[in-house]
A and B are shown apart, each in its own frame.
Chain A
């Protein structure tokens, strides 16, 4: 009997010791909360989209908590600014990833900065959901990094497919010399070829440029049927203004990265952009979408307290996939990561999400439309402006 008792005590102590050994290897926030570390571009050239992303993060977390959080755990958000700087982004990531209370990371930073963080994702072993347009974020897939904004390839595909239907035969582009700009440039070229559209000119600019006359004149002289501008931030405003001043006649398609409040304020309001085309996530079209996407959009607008911009909708979609992953896992970093990898057809504002172990892009061209600015608002584009 005594031996049996001793054995029971020994077994209990061994189990306890084993538990103590195991626990540190799978860090979880043992508190009654889930802490999400967000890194947003709140300053610098990418702040035009980083801030609306971040606003949506806060809105989603607020609504998530009113639903009781995830399995009774409240959600807490800690935000850092990467200042649109890859080095600062990496430092911010290390800070969040090194914080054992943080269970998940959201990135709302430029593609360049996300690609700086990507090599560290598996080292830190913390699941990350990231915006950013570059396909390289999701392919090749890092086990811990998941993308929510659509890849540039899908946009180029959607725009070229639409252009082909409109009878467009040639295109010219103007893009930045950074990774995002080059990705846009190559993507348009690849899809233009696929749809039988000739690329007549591909001009580039540095992010600090303010005079785009040379690039636009070269584009004008090439006489394309359609012009695509991949500029964002200050360059987007100046390219648009100088395009109008130089009286270039081909329809102009902007990257959706260009469209934000600062852009409209600088050009004199949304109506000044009438006729502008944009391949965009259906989230841009707001109530026109309908279905589950439309319902989520309505929830987003209510949570924000004002009309939502496209980058707000991406931020909201971050929340949707994250909440699904926490609700369908044990809440540990590894558990949530594994849940994300299994996501199939999860509805979101900007189309359904699907992740595979070799593809973490998430969304595809099913969630994309070409829109045109009419009366200060983006609506579905059924034909070229002026036709």
Chain B
């Protein structure tokens, strides 16, 4: 028999995790569209956000300052990654650039382990709101509200940035046609650095807000990165909005799968959804074949 409280619990809890996947997916899409690179270090920015925020709070910093510090570190990591590891291989084949991002991911994981150790680190809920609230039959920690509000605000800011600012228009121009953007006088290298820094900051912010719920742990980046990547794929890797929806959808899908099918089948179902989506998008029902992509941004 359908139980609305149970459904609510799965939906709303899944949305919370999905918010983090959405931020990672957004980072993937921004980087891929402007620079042509799939940045597999995206998940590690989430990890660093959580770990830096926990550390700063441990040093006595107020929560807001700790989160800002985490965002700054995430942005800095993204910027350093782009400048030091991707700029030198900008004209190399795509698979080399992707491999470089995988290497950065492994490096960041190792560094996180060395700096913070192997134990998961707990972070107090924002505003000291450690308790729970009830909504539509679901029981949720107050921190969930922080995650939802932060993600929603970020989406609004991102929309405003891309739509109404010069830099945002330049980013969109790069994603439409990199060569044309260059010809129009847009400094595409600077745009690439900007989106990497932005995606690092986004991921880190996600890590800081989810840490009171999910802990901060050096090894979590792989899971966030993978699920965020799936969200970006489902979003078509074109539209930031669709990428966000994709990430949210993955978060909800995995909770629904675990809740209504089987906890053991959770990941299987998520990847099955991805497989079916790719088969349909990839042309199982299409006629003819698409031309092989050369790896250039277009």
Task: Mark A residues whose CB is within 8 Å of B.
Answer: 42-45, 47-48, 177, 203-206, 208-211, 213-215, 217-218, 221, 233-234, 237-238, 245-247, 262, 265-268
Contacts and interface: CB of A to CB of B under 8 A. Distances in A.
Contacts of B119: 47-48, 262, 265-266
Contact of B118 (A44, A205, A210): A44
A245 B263 contact: no
Contacts of B259: 213-214, 217-218
Contacts of B85: none
Contacts of A47: 118-119
Interface residues of B, number: 36
A215 B139 contact: no
Contacts of B121: 266
Contacts of B139: 245-247
A43 B217 CA distance: 12
A175 to B, nearest CB: 10
B229 interface: no
Contacts of A245: 132, 139-141
Contact of A218 (B118, B141, B217, B263): B263
A266 B223 CA distance: 21
B36 to A, nearest CB: 29
B263 A203 contact: yes
B3 A221 contact: yes
Contact of B267 (A206, A210, A218, A267): A206
B256 to A, nearest CB: 8
Contacts of B263: 203-205, 214-215, 218
Nearest 10 Cβ contacts at the A-B interface: A214-B258, A210-B214, A214-B259, A47-B118, A262-B119, A266-B122, A234-B120, A213-B13, A208-B223, A43-B118
Contacts of A209: 266
A266 B120 CA distance: 8
A246 B139 CA distance: 6
A43 B122 CA distance: 18
Given A43-B113, A208-B220, A213 B264 contact: no
B254 to A, nearest CB: 8
Interface in B243-264: 254-256, 258-259, 263-264
